[in-house]
Amino acid sequence: MDLPKYSDLPAFEKTGERHAWGAFGPDDQLGTVNLLTPERVLAASRLVKQGHVINLSLTLDTPTTLYRGETRSGYRHNTTVNRGGRDDTLDNFAMQGSSQWDGLRHVRYREFGYWGGLQDEDVDGQGRLGIEAWAQHGIVGRGVLIDAARYYEQAGAPLDATKKTPLGGPEIEVIAAAQGVELRDGDILLLRTGWLRWFLALSDQEKEALRGRLNPGEDGLDMPGLDPSTSTAAWLWDRRIAAIAADNPALEALRVDAEVGFQHRRLIALQGMALGELWDMEALSQDCAADGVYEFMLVSAPLNVPGAVGSPANAYAIK
């Protein structure tokens, strides 16, 4: 796929930010998921050696204490029982309440619009950029675990789950080299920071104390994650990364610094990239460390909900 380098992408005169609108053709609905071509899916299938399937998703009721208000505070599971068996429904089910994908409707770039320059009337009136496009395509390809938590632990400088530590392209390349895995075009990167392991080990009271603190204010949470700078956005584009997910609530390192910017706006709205949050990589980390193999086939099926903004990841690593 012949794509321009990041430095050759057009830029907004007002802000200097570059965008890839039109890079995958007019009226594109997939963004960087376009990089998951049939040839790359086939190549990923050849990575399966043992048929070992590893779940990458939390239970859909985890977490319930990070978010303020009703939006992602947990669903209500209703079960009806009769002589013939059972049926059930979910109330207040948040599509981005657990291990998730942020879709192309999730974030816009200022007044310039959503992916492709679309405005709200395009998204709402024409049904554009819904998660169903990814659901119908599937997010399937070569996954690579970047186990930053294990790397820094072994180096004697473990990542602090309560400290903002940005991890950019140079750090990712160093970790990949130490793991003996080569990055390739069309990869799906999984960045393990260890944040989720830390969070799940907290008591119920400690988790409750974190409610509503995913914000840039004085009481906001700090945590390691993807570097939020333009240079990292450029690295991901020039590396032709198809998608990236992490085991923290925002993918990028928090708290957000307004001077540096919010990586979601660059990656989702300007580059059309699939971003994953709160992925459970603990079992995968142990498996990769045990056999020294950090590449695998990754299969993810976003829910086929027309017009949805995000979706549970429904993801597996297959080795």
- Calculate the average pLDDT of the chain: 95
Q: Write the CATH number for 197.
A: 3.50.30.50
Nearest to 187 by CA among 242, 139, 247: 242
Q: 169-195, pLDDT tens digit by residue?
A: 999 999 999 999 999 999 999 999 999
Contacts 24+ apart (CB under 8 A), 2-7: 3/240, 5/237, 5/238, 6/233, 6/234, 6/237, 6/238, 7/234
pLDDT (mean) for 80-86: 95
Q: 88-144, pLDDT tens digit by residue?
A: 999 988 899 999 999 999 999 999 999 999 999 999 988 899 999 999 999 999 999
In a domain, 134, yes or no: yes
| Chain centroid, CA 38 distance in Å | 22
The pLDDT confidence band at residue 69, using thresholds 50, 70 and 90, is low
Dihedral sign of CA atoms 234, 2, 27, 251 in order: negative
In a domain, 72, yes or no: no
In a domain, 3, yes or no: no
The pLDDT confidence band at residue 154, using thresholds 50, 70 and 90, is very high
Is the pLDDT at 86 greater than 80, yes or no? yes
In a domain, 131, yes or no: yes
H helices of the chain, in order, are: 38-45, 120-125, 132-137, 148-154, 169-179, 195-200, 204-208, 230-238, 263-264, 282-291
| Range of the structural domain that residue 37 is part of | 13-62+95-318
In a domain, 262, yes or no: yes
CB-based contact 199:98 (threshold 8 Å)? no
pLDDT (mean) for 142-158: 98
The pLDDT assigned to 71 comes to: 63
Calculated CA dihedral for residues 43, 48, 49, 50, nearest 10 degrees: -170
The pLDDT confidence band at residue 157, using thresholds 50, 70 and 90, is very high
In a domain, 75, yes or no: no
In a domain, 90, yes or no: no
Q: Tell me how many domains the chain contains.
A: 1
Is the pLDDT at 85 greater than 70, yes or no? yes
Sequence letter at residue 131: I
More confident residue, 214 or 40: 40
In a domain, 38, yes or no: yes
Phi-psi region of 89 (alpha: psi -120 to 50; beta: other; left: phi over 0): beta
Beta bridge partners of 139: 300
pLDDT (mean) for 305-309: 96
